[in-house]
Amino acid sequence: MKKPLDFLKCTRRGFIAGTATIGVSLLNGKSMKSVAHDLLNFEEIKIPTCCHMCGGGTGVIATVRDGVVAKLEPNKYNPIGVCNTSLNFTENQKDGAAMCPKGLSGIMALYDPDRVKKPLLRTNPEKGINVDPKWREITWDEAFDIIVRELKKLINEDRPEALITFSENSLATSIQRDFGNLFGTPNISFHTNICSATRKAATMAVFGVDEPLGDYQNSKYMLIFGWNPLSAVKWSHLPQILLNGKSNGSKLVIIDPRYSETAAKADLWYPIIPGTDGALALAMSHVIIEENLYNQEFIENWTFGFDEYKKYLKDKTPEWAEKICGVSAKDIKSLAIEFATNQPSIADAWIGPGQQSNGFNSIRAVLLLNVLVGSVDEPGGMMMTEEFKLGESPIRISPPKKKRFDGKEKFPFGHNSGVYVETFRQLFEENGPYKLDVAFITMSNLVLSMPNTSQVVEGLKKLKFIVVNDNYLNETSNLADIVIPGTTYLERFGLVTRGINWEYVALRQPVIKPLFNQYSEAEFFIELAKRLELKDQSGQVAFSNIRYEDYLDIRLQRSKANITLDELKEAPGGVWTSPESTEYRRYEKTVIKTETKKFQFSLSNSSKNISLNYILPEYQQRRWLPDKKYPYYLISWKHITHTHSRTQNNPYLSELKDQNYLYINPMTANSLGFKDGELVGVISPFGETKAQLRFSPGMHPEVLGTEWGFGHWAFGDYAREKGFAVNQLNKFLVDEVTGQALHKEICVNIRKI
Ligand code: SF4
């Protein structure tokens, strides 16, 4: 049988043979020309895998020459990079697939000389922001022995819940859950609650799915609130399908306090006051109902709570919203009419509104525009996604009954990734439900990625023992007791699934062996479980005869794909896609997964013990507002060149963007006497930092803004001392519905220095 991967293979000649040839050639007095010719005779293979420079999981083909990764390019067999509906898949594949600059720079993450190469042991017991840990290299056995000793203390004291884990998403997450269950701690936490938990909760409340996606390519009207998909790229196909939509005649409207890259391509841009998106969306709904432009049939058959919503909207007029959001009543009315009469249309909102204290209701109000006009699960509308589910884990063990430290259960729509803000607030204030002693932190620079930097540092210092598993030393690993070298995505296995409109699963596989013979993150937890002799419910030592590849293999075979890992390795591009393909109006055949089994204008009154002002998506002001002392909103955004705070040491990406600036409207700056390029002090009630001003007429005059992820003081040479970190100005602010960290709800002032 022809192996599907054969289509990816190129010249195959051994490097050692090639090197030997050169040596012999030189001895034989061959000309330089023929030596150069021999040098070109290298072994080259192309291996499909999935990117993890961000959480998108884009399909990649790695070219490996003589054991060295020489090139990364898009993999058009993987839907991530091509499209989000199967109906566009074949058509879009003709144009190839897409990757973003971060993905294309993955080689430099792999070969970064600043990578941690061996386990490191802290020898300086003192901990602090600028305190040298005085690392000493140790062997893997020494590292495991020390970690096992610390964990056994918790077992002996019958306090397994005193262990907490934090991890980047899509990185051995199910193994970490299995490990937590085996060890007996419920405190397994992941990145989502400092990212997009609010949008997920809002989409669950309205649609019953946690990541619906717009079918932009086939839409006639794209209305986007607080999202910059042409730059804040996570799924690398999104920019293209949005632009395809535009080429097909769709109108693009952006609601954002700043003139983003996407706003620059839009037909209309409305600079809104931060945190007022909900008011604008409610007033649009008011107009659509008053003008009788809603889809009565869809609403009658498929929705819950319309009458209450209509009643609530009675006085939410464009004039009411104008005073709140700054968009004129006339424009609100025309936006509403255009949205309703250009079908199919899409209204979507992401973390711009989502990382503010009224985000849950704001995003619901935006999403309900789709429901009002019936643009739900229709071509060109908001599509319900179906994420592929792996089969059952081979590790049979029930989750521990102990309560989580972070109090996730108190949040009516708390995300299963946990509540980092509450964890750190309680650690700092020493008022948690019990004591935490040990933390495992996997590829998460919490010190920079959590609000309230100084208290996060103090919180971490209260833990007795911290293990950081990362590729780099950074602000968080500097507070660790042991650092374990991590792997890049080019050195490890994984299975990637994402919510697109039809199911797929893609293989992430090592394209070379781990450079430092290190364990992958999953293998690290497996090895630890074995050394601790953790037992599953049958009483057997877990993982005693299972490698990570076996684990993935079993879960794949138990899934809908029903294939082996080897079969997935051999599938074109390393991808399995469901033969069922995209299906619209799925709600007609299956149960809508909301509480009322309908698309919800309103939650049911009994819903999740939620306060009454969340039953309908009522507009409430965000909690932290500007005042005389701190008169400016401070917003932040992701730029296409960087992921969170983890790529700033990549030389390619650093060349594209090596620092952030504080963007300010020139009118505001001039009225205060500041010059373009001036270094200023930025102050909030919770911290102070310095930033370089950059004039931008595209900033709302009451808003200052910057790119996220900069301001490192303990990362590699390319990253250190470049720009400033927004979180130094923030406090422990958490969304009361979802547990989301509220990074975008900050008010500041600036001063001369
Ligand atoms: S968006 Fe870019 S960094 Fe993220 S997975 Fe795709 S190619 Fe990689």
Decide whether any atom of ligand 1 lies within 6 Å of the 644 Cβ: no
* 42 — pLDDT class (breaks 50, 70, 90): confident
Residue 504 belongs to a domain: no
Residue 104 belongs to a domain: yes
> Do residues 188 and 235 share a domain?
no
Query: For tokens 């507002």, what's the residue?
Result: 625
Distances, alpha carbon 48 to alpha carbons 9, 39, 394, 488, 665, in Å: 11, 25, 26, 15, 45
Whether pLDDT at 6 is above 50: no
Decide whether any atom of ligand 1 lies within 6 Å of the 99 Cβ: yes
- Looking at per-residue pLDDT, the higher value among 747 and 387 belongs to 747
For the chain, the domain total comes to 4
Residue 130 belongs to a domain: yes
- Is the Cβ–Cβ distance between 735 and 359 less than 8 Å? yes
What tens digit of pLDDT does each residue of 534-569 get?
Answer: 999 999 999 998 999 999 999 999 999 999 999 999
Cα 608 to ligand 1 centroid, rounded to whole Å:
36
Cα 100 to ligand 1 centroid, rounded to whole Å:
6
Whether pLDDT at 450 is above 60: yes
Q: Strand order of the sheet with strand 494-496? A: 494-496, 504-508, 575-577
**Which residues on adjacent β-strands are paired with residue 551?**
none
Query: For tokens 């937890």, what's the residue?
Result: 525
Phi–psi pair at 507, nearest 5 degrees:
-90, 130
**Which residues on adjacent β-strands are paired with residue 634?**
704, 746
Look at the alpha carbons of 422, 427, 433, 435 in this order and tell me if their dihedral is positive or negative: positive
Distances, alpha carbon 705 to alpha carbons 231, 668, 692, in Å: 15, 13, 12
* 635 — pLDDT class (breaks 50, 70, 90): very high
What tens digit of pLDDT does each residue of 724-750 get?
Answer: 999 999 999 999 999 999 999 999 999
Phi–psi pair at 720, nearest 5 degrees:
-65, 140
Please tell me the distance from the alpha carbon of residue 629 to that of residue 651, in angstroms, as a whole number.
40
What tens digit of pLDDT does each residue of 674-730 get?
Answer: 999 999 999 999 999 999 999 999 999 999 999 999 999 999 999 999 999 999 999
Whether pLDDT at 366 is above 80: yes
Cα 51 to ligand 1 centroid, rounded to whole Å:
6
How much is the pLDDT for 13? 33
How much is the pLDDT for 387? 78
Q: What is the mean pLDDT of residues 46-58?
A: 96
How much is the pLDDT for 315? 98
> Do residues 535 and 681 share a domain?
no
Please, which residues have CB within 8 angstroms of residue 72's CB and are 6 or more apart in sequence?
51, 60, 61, 62, 63, 99, 103, 104, 106, 107
* H/E segment holding residue 364: helix 359-373
How much is the pLDDT for 36? 52
Q: Which atom of ligand 1 is nearest to the CA of 53?
A: 3
Whether pLDDT at 35 is above 80: no
258: left (phi over 0), alpha (psi -120 to 50) or beta: beta
**Which residues on adjacent β-strands are paired with residue 225?**
255, 349
How much is the pLDDT for 125? 97
**Which residues on adjacent β-strands are paired with residue 687?**
684
Decide whether any atom of ligand 1 lies within 6 Å of the 53 Cβ: yes
How much is the pLDDT for 547? 95
How much is the pLDDT for 156? 98
Q: What is the mean pLDDT of residues 80-106?
A: 94
How much is the pLDDT for 3? 35
How much is the pLDDT for 24? 34
Decide whether any atom of ligand 1 lies within 6 Å of the 234 Cβ: yes
CB burial of residue 541 (10 Å; 0-12, 13-18, 19+): middle
How much is the pLDDT for 40? 63
How much is the pLDDT for 25? 35
Please tell me the distance from the alpha carbon of residue 657 to that of residue 273, in angstroms, as a whole number.
27
Decide whether any atom of ligand 1 lies within 6 Å of the 58 Cβ: yes
Please tell me the distance from the alpha carbon of residue 599 to that of residue 749, in angstroms, as a whole number.
42
How much is the pLDDT for 171? 84
Torsion from C-alpha of 440, 445, 446, 452, nearest 10 degrees: 160
Q: Which atom of ligand 1 is nearest to the CA of 236?
A: 1
What tens digit of pLDDT does each residue of 473-504 get?
Answer: 999 999 999 999 999 999 999 999 987 889 99
Please, which residues have CB within 8 angstroms of residue 452's CB and are 6 or more apart in sequence?
424, 686, 727, 730, 731, 732
Whether pLDDT at 4 is above 60: no
What tens digit of pLDDT does each residue of 227-266 get?
Answer: 999 998 788 999 999 999 999 999 999 999 999 999 999 9
- Is the Cβ–Cβ distance between 398 and 404 less than 8 Å? no
Q: What is the mean pLDDT of residues 407-432?
A: 97
Residue 738 belongs to a domain: no
Whether pLDDT at 226 is above 90: yes
Residue 261: strand, helix, or coil: helix
Question: What pTM value is reported for the model?
Answer: 0.93
How much is the pLDDT for 38? 55
Q: Which domain holds residue 156?
A: 120-194+390-490+512-561
> Do residues 377 and 524 share a domain?
no
Phi–psi pair at 64, nearest 5 degrees:
-115, 115
Decide whether any atom of ligand 1 lies within 6 Å of the 54 Cβ: yes
Of 298, 272, 285, 269, give the one whose Cα is nearest residue 337: 285
Decide whether any atom of ligand 1 lies within 6 Å of the 251 Cβ: no
Q: What is the mean pLDDT of residues 27-34?
A: 45
Decide whether any atom of ligand 1 lies within 6 Å of the 245 Cβ: no
Which residue type does 470 have?
Answer: D
How much is the pLDDT for 234? 81
* Maximal C-alpha separation, the chain: 92
Q: Which atom of ligand 1 is nearest to the CA of 100?
A: 2
Decide whether any atom of ligand 1 lies within 6 Å of the 100 Cβ: yes
Length of the chain: 753
Task: Write the CATH number for 683.
Answer: 2.40.40.20
Of 736, 726, 622, give the one whose Cα is nearest residue 279: 622
What tens digit of pLDDT does each residue of 188-207 get?
Answer: 999 999 999 999 999 999 99
Encoded tokens for 415: 């995300």
How much is the pLDDT for 29? 42
How much is the pLDDT for 385? 85
Q: What is the DSSP letter of 741?
A: B
> Do residues 369 and 301 share a domain?
yes
Decide whether any atom of ligand 1 lies within 6 Å of the 224 Cβ: no
* 607 — pLDDT class (breaks 50, 70, 90): low
* Residue where one domain finishes, among candidates 75, 110, 145: 110
Encoded tokens for 476: 């968080």
Task: Write the CATH number for 327.
Answer: 3.40.228.10
Residue 357 belongs to a domain: yes
> Do residues 169 and 280 share a domain?
no
Please tell me the distance from the alpha carbon of residue 363 to that of residue 32, in angstroms, as a whole number.
66
Decide whether any atom of ligand 1 lies within 6 Å of the 160 Cβ: no
- Is the Cβ–Cβ distance between 75 and 573 less than 8 Å? yes
> Do residues 250 and 380 share a domain?
yes
- Is the Cβ–Cβ distance between 456 and 424 less than 8 Å? yes
- Looking at per-residue pLDDT, the higher value among 573 and 38 belongs to 573
Minimal-distance CA residue to ligand 1 atom 4: 54
Decide whether any atom of ligand 1 lies within 6 Å of the 79 Cβ: no
How much is the pLDDT for 500? 84
Tell me how crowded residue 91 is: count the other CB atoms within 10 A of its CB.
13
Please tell me the distance from the alpha carbon of residue 516 to that of residue 329, in angstroms, as a whole number.
62
> Do residues 400 and 479 share a domain?
yes
- Is the Cβ–Cβ distance between 384 and 84 less than 8 Å? no
Query: For tokens 């998909």, what's the residue?
Result: 229
Tell me how crowded residue 290 is: count the other CB atoms within 10 A of its CB.
16
Percent of the chain with pLDDT over 90: 90
Ligand 1 pocket test target in 49, 50, 52, 54 with most atoms within 8 Å of CB: 54
Task: Write the CATH number for 486.
Answer: 3.40.50.740
- Looking at per-residue pLDDT, the higher value among 173 and 61 belongs to 61
Residue 739 belongs to a domain: no
Q: Which atom of ligand 1 is nearest to the CA of 74?
A: 7
Look at the alpha carbons of 156, 159, 164, 165 in this order and tell me if their dihedral is positive or negative: positive
Minimal-distance CA residue to ligand 1 atom 8: 103
How much is the pLDDT for 411? 95
How much is the pLDDT for 39? 57
- Is the Cβ–Cβ distance between 554 and 391 less than 8 Å? yes
Look at the alpha carbons of 572, 578, 580, 586 in this order and tell me if their dihedral is positive or negative: negative
Q: What is the DSSP letter of 258?
A: B
Neighbouring C-alpha atoms within 13 Å toward the C-beta of 179 = 27
Whether pLDDT at 16 is above 60: no
> Do residues 183 and 239 share a domain?
no
Task: List the alpha helices (DSSP H) in 472-575.
Answer: 521-531, 548-557, 565-570
Residue 33 belongs to a domain: yes
> Do residues 350 and 275 share a domain?
yes
Q: Which atom of ligand 1 is nearest to the CA of 50?
A: 5
Ligand 1 pocket test target in 61, 99, 644 with most atoms within 8 Å of CB: 99
Residue 432 belongs to a domain: yes
Please provide the average confidence, as pLDDT, over all residues in the chain. Answer: 93
Please tell me the distance from the alpha carbon of residue 85 to that of residue 309, in angstroms, as a whole number.
32
> Do residues 358 and 410 share a domain?
no
Whether pLDDT at 460 is above 60: yes
Interhelix angle for 521-531 vs 173-183, to 10°?
A: 20
Decide whether any atom of ligand 1 lies within 6 Å of the 104 Cβ: no
Q: What is the mean pLDDT of residues 380-388?
A: 90
Minimal-distance CA residue to ligand 1 atom 5: 56
> Do residues 479 and 455 share a domain?
yes
Look at the alpha carbons of 261, 264, 268, 273 in this order and tell me if their dihedral is positive or negative: positive
> Do residues 142 and 167 share a domain?
yes
Decide whether any atom of ligand 1 lies within 6 Å of the 506 Cβ: no
* 608 — pLDDT class (breaks 50, 70, 90): low
